[in-house]
């Protein structure tokens, strides 16, 4: 009898969690355009229904993942396009950026919500031989990655809105010219594209969990010795 009660309780809890996640995703994806042009108005709108920091951070992360695309014109397959990297734009309005832009926007929005989010840098390592060795700077690739670390109720975890997002521009295999880059930026701004293909694993994960699920791991610079 006790086991049946526990199973029913678990099913009920899972249903509540899924319903809450669906509501958070829907609020993020259906945010009105008229509140989306400033970090302050956007954040205040997103977090208004929620009374705990975890849900506030989640709706912020979902908005970034569903509205910001990765800019492969600037950085693609481990290569920096020096010329396109010099093209500056307002990430919030252009709706695209590289990993540092994703992480900085998350940091800024979290702070508006009254929550401290740490902007961290390091590497995403997928080579299993390298994972088994002691990490040293000279072992790491030249180009790293940027994401966020947060702490809620004395529990630390990572949030990577770049990996949450499944959208990108400039990865169609054609030569990345400045003309195409600017054209795609104008198109995204005009169309207000919303990406529904969100990988929610990358909200609230640890390196150990990531290694078990994806056989890769986020390693912060401070862990590299």
pLDDT digits over 77-112, tens only? 778 899 999 999 999 999 999 999 999 999 999 999
Q: Are strands 96-97 and 69-71 parallel, antiparallel or unpaired?
A: parallel
Mean pLDDT, residues 38-55: 96
If you average pLDDT over each of 11-15, 38-42, 123-127, which comes out highest? 38-42
Residue 209 burial by Cβ neighbours in a 10 Å radius (0-12, 13-18, 19+): middle
Mean pLDDT, residues 183-191: 89
- Whether the per-residue pLDDT at 153 is higher than 80: the answer is yes
The number of helix segments (H) and strand segments (E) in the chain equals 10, 10
Give the whole-angstrom CA distance, residue 24 versus residue 98: 24
SS3 134: coil
pLDDT digits over 159-184, tens only? 999 999 989 999 888 888 999 999 99
pLDDT at 13: 37
- Whether the per-residue pLDDT at 39 is higher than 90: the answer is yes
pLDDT at 215: 84
- Whether the per-residue pLDDT at 143 is higher than 70: the answer is no
Mean pLDDT, residues 184-198: 88
pLDDT at 78: 78
Band (17; pLDDT cuts 50, 70, 90): very low
C-alpha dihedral (199, 146, 78, 62), degrees to nearest 10? 20
By the 8 A CB rule, do 40 and 112 touch? Answer: yes
Q: Which of 206 and 192 is assigned the larger pLDDT? A: 206
By the 8 A CB rule, do 62 and 25 touch? Answer: yes
Q: Does the domain formed by 2-223 have CATH 3.10.620?
A: yes
pLDDT at 2: 56
Give the whole-angstrom CA distance, residue 68 versus residue 63: 8
Mean pLDDT, residues 118-144: 69
C-alpha dihedral (83, 76, 192, 93), degrees to nearest 10? -40
- The whole-angstrom distance between residue 219's C-alpha and the CA centroid of its chain comes to 16
Mean pLDDT, residues 6-10: 43
pTM comes to: 0.85
pLDDT digits over 122-132, tens only? 888 876 566 55
pLDDT at 183: 94
- Closest by Cα among 25, 24, 22, 23 to 194: 25
What are the residue ranges of helices labelled H in the chain? 2-29, 39-47, 53-67, 82-85, 91-94, 99-112, 128-132, 161-164, 178-191, 207-214
By the 8 A CB rule, do 98 and 72 touch? Answer: no
Give the whole-angstrom CA distance, residue 12 versus residue 3: 14
Q: Which residues contact 162 (CB under 8 A, 6 or more apart)?
A: 70, 98, 99, 102, 103, 145, 146, 147
Q: Which of 17 and 39 is assigned the larger pLDDT? A: 39
Q: Which residue has the tokens 């678990």?
A: 10
């Amino acid at each position: 009898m006790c086991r049946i009660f526990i199973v029913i309780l678990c099913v009920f809890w899972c249903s509540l969690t899924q319903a809450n996640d669906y509501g958070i995703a829907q609020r993020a994806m259906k945010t009105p355009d008229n509140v989306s042009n400033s970090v302050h108005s956007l954040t205040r709108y997103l977090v208004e229904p929620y009374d705990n920091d975890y849900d506030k951070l989640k709706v912020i992360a979902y908005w970034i993942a569903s509205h910001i695309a990765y800019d492969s014109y600037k950085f693609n397959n481990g290569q920096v396009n020096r010329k396109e990297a010099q093209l500056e734009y307002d990430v919030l309005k252009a709706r695209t950026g590289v990993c540092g832009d994703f992480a900085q926007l998350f940091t800024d929005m979290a702070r508006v919500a009254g929550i401290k989010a740490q902007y961290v840098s390091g590497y995403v390592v997928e080579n299993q031989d390298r994972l088994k060795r002691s990490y040293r700077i000279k072992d790491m690739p030249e180009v790293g990655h940027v994401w966020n670390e947060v702490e809620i109720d004395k529990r630390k975890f990572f949030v990577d809105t770049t990996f949450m997002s499944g959208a990108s521009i400039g990865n169609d295999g054609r030569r990345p010219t400045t003309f195409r880059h600017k054209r795609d930026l104008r198109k995204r701004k005009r169309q207000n594209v919303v990406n529904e293909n969100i990988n929610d694993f990358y909200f609230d994960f640890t390196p150990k969990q990531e290694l078990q699920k994806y056989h890769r791991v986020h390693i912060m610079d401070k862990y590299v010795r």
